[in-house]
């Protein structure tokens, strides 16, 4: 039994539950599992103090002279009348009742909360820090990709202005000439160590094909870059068309190296003191080169470009 000056923690918890106490008091209580030597005997079975080490959730009330579940008392006080309210006193059935209680869903939840109590803010903090680091790494990767894209765009613009082919016949690592596009990027890499590391990645040739980091050397990336620049140029031409006073459409047939008949479409615009020409592109007319088909091509361009008022 408890002495007159001894405060029984379990009795105090039953009077004032853990959930309504201040956080500082809660932190102290979590670590104060009462484990006095219980003087209790049922039949020929008595309490053994070694049970405290085998059952780390077990606690004892000296005042009630009974065993309790410490996690359930703290975090689930109404879950079990014998382990949280009246106390357990049947020493004969102690082991079987312990196993039954340990399988209870309420006990498992309270036990988990008890074990992680005080560590949850730390876990949340670590997760937040990890998330921030991931965002920083992602932002840095995006920044480097944008810087690399600027250099690659200059290469695309240069080859386009000079009307040079992009691809090479042999673009393997052992080739002496991997094509204008790759060779130009290699020249840029010699003058910029950061660009060189991003371009080669210090990895095998498979990495250059676009696996992993953005390198900008794959055929698909090259085509995407050309398409993007084409859209930008087309938008600028449409702005000029919108601002001009007069315009006319000029079409002419051109045969490429594959003997395909293509229609070259040019816009001529009056800019006041001068007349400028802008090419809208080539359209394949190999299947039909009649006047009706050609007029349909021009009308189709008009319909796809609302500013081109014909």
185 close to 155: Cβ distance less than 8 angstroms? yes
pTM of the predicted protein model: 0.45
Lowest mean pLDDT segment, chosen from 15-29, 78-92, 101-115, 203-217: 203-217
Q: Which of 157-166, 188-197, 247-256 has the highest mean predicted lDDT (pLDDT)? A: 157-166
What confidence score (pLDDT) does residue 301 get?
64
- The per-residue pLDDT for range 159-170, each reduced to its tens digit, is 888 888 888 787
Lowest mean pLDDT segment, chosen from 116-125, 248-257, 268-277: 116-125
Adjacency order of strands within the sheet including 247-255: 247-255, 261-270, 275-284
Q: How far is CA 12 from the centre of its chain?
A: 49
Q: How far is CA 171 from the centre of its chain?
A: 34
Q: Token digits for 79? A: 């879950």
- The per-residue pLDDT for range 102-128, each reduced to its tens digit, is 988 889 988 888 888 765 555 556 667
Q: Rounded CA gap, 188 and 176, in Å?
A: 17
3-state SS, one letter per residue, for 243-271:
HCCCEEEEEEEEECCCCCEEEEEEEEEEC
* Runs of H (alpha helix) within the chain: 9-15, 23-30, 51-54, 70-75, 81-84, 94-102, 105-116, 120-161, 180-191, 193-200, 205-208, 219-243, 291-304
Q: Rounded CA gap, 159 and 156, in Å?
A: 5
Residue 301: CB atoms within 10 Å: 19
């Amino acid at each position: 039994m408890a002495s007159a000056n001894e405060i029984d923690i379990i009795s105090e918890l039953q009077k004032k539950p853990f959930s309504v106490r201040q956080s500082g008091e809660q932190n102290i209580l979590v670590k104060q599992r009462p484990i006095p030597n219980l003087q209790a005997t049922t039949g020929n079975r008595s309490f053994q103090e070694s049970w405290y080490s085998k059952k780390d959730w077990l606690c004892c009330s000296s005042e009630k002279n009974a065993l309790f579940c410490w996690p359930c008392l703290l975090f689930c006080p109404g879950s079990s009348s014998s382990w949280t309210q009246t106390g357990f006193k049947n020493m004969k059935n102690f082991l079987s009742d312990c196993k039954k209680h340990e399988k209870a869903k309420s006990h498992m939840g309270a036990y988990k909360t008890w074990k992680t109590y005080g560590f949850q803010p730390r876990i949340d903090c670590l997760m937040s820090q990890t998330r921030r680091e991931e965002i920083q790494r992602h932002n840095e990767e995006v920044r480097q990709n944008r810087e690399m894209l600027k250099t690659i765009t200059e290469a695309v613009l240069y080859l386009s202005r000079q009307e040079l082919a992009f691809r090479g016949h042999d673009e393997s690592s052992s080739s002496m000439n991997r094509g204008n596009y790759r060779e130009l990027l290699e020249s840029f890499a010699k003058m910029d160590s950061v660009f060189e590391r991003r371009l080669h990645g210090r990895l095998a040739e498979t990495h250059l094909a676009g696996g992993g980091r953005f390198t900008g050397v794959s055929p698909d990336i090259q085509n995407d870059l050309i398409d993007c620049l084409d859209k930008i140029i087309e938008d600028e031409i449409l702005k000029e068309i919108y601002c001009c006073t007069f315009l006319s459409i000029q079409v002419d047939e051109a045969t490429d190296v594959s003997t395909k008949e293509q229609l070259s479409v040019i816009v001529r615009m009056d800019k006041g003191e001068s007349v400028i020409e802008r090419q809208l592109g080539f359209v394949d007319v190999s299947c039909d080169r009649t006047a009706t088909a050609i007029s349909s091509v021009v009308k189709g361009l008009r319909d796809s470009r609302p500013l081109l008022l014909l």
